[in-house]
Structure 1
Amino acid sequence: MFLQSYSVAVKEIMDKDIFFSDHKDDIQEVMDYIFKNNKKEVLVLKNKDLIGIVTIKDLYKILGKNISKLTIEEIMAKEIISVTIDETLYRVRSLMIENKIGRIPVFSNKKLVGIIREESMRDFFYKGVDEAEEAIQHIFDNIHEALCVLDNKGRVILWNKRSESLYGVKEEEIKGKYLKDHFPNAIDLKVFDTKESVKNLYHSPKEGYHVIISASPIFINGKLHGVVSTEKDISEIEELQIELKKAKDRLVELQKQIKNQEEDPFDRIIGHSKKIIGKKEIARQIAKTNVSVLITGESGTGKEEFAKAIHKHSGVTGNFVPVNCSAIPNELFESEFFGYEKGAFTGARKEGKLGFFEQANGGTLFLDEIGDMPISMQAKLLRVLQDKKIKKVGGEAFIPVNVRIISATNKNLLEMVKENSFREELYYRINVIGIELPSLKERKEDIVLFVDHFLKEICTENKKVIPKIHSDVMNFLVDYLWKGNIRELKNVVEYMAIMCKGDIITKELIPKYMIEESLNIKLETPSLDLNQTVELIEITMIKKALKEAEGNRLEASRLLNIPRTTLHSKMKKYNLYDYL
Structure 2
Amino acid sequence: MLENNLLYYRIREILSTNILKILPHIYLSEAIEKMLYENIPEVIIVENFSQKEIIKGILTLADVSRIKKENIPLDLPVAAFMQEKVVSVDIDELVSRARETMIENRIGRLPVTEHGGIVGIIRSDNLRDSYYMKLESINRQYKQIIHHMHEAVTVTDAQGHILVWNKNAEKLYDMKCEDLIYKKLEDFFPNALTLSVLNEREPIENVYHSPKPNYYVIISALPIYIDDEFVGVVATERDVTEFTNLSLKLENANSEINLLREEVRKITTGISSLGHIQGKNPKMQKKIQLAKHVSQTDTSVLITGESGTGKEVLAIAIHQNSGRTGHFVPVNCSAIPYTLFESEFFGYVGGAFTGALRGGKPGLIELANGGTLFLDEIGDLSIEAQAKLLRVLQEKKVVRVGAGKPIDVDIRIISATNKNLKDLVQKGSFREDLYYRLNVVEIELPPLRERKEDIILLFNHFLKEICRKNKIRISHVEKDVFNILLKYGWKGNIRELKNTVEYMVVVSKNGVLDIDLIPQYILDNITTVKVDNNDQMNLEEIIKRSEADMIKKALTETKGNKAKAAKMLNIPRSTLYYKLKLYDLEKASNN
* TM category, shorter: 0.3 to 0.5
Q: Give TM-score, length-normalised by structure 1.
A: 0.45
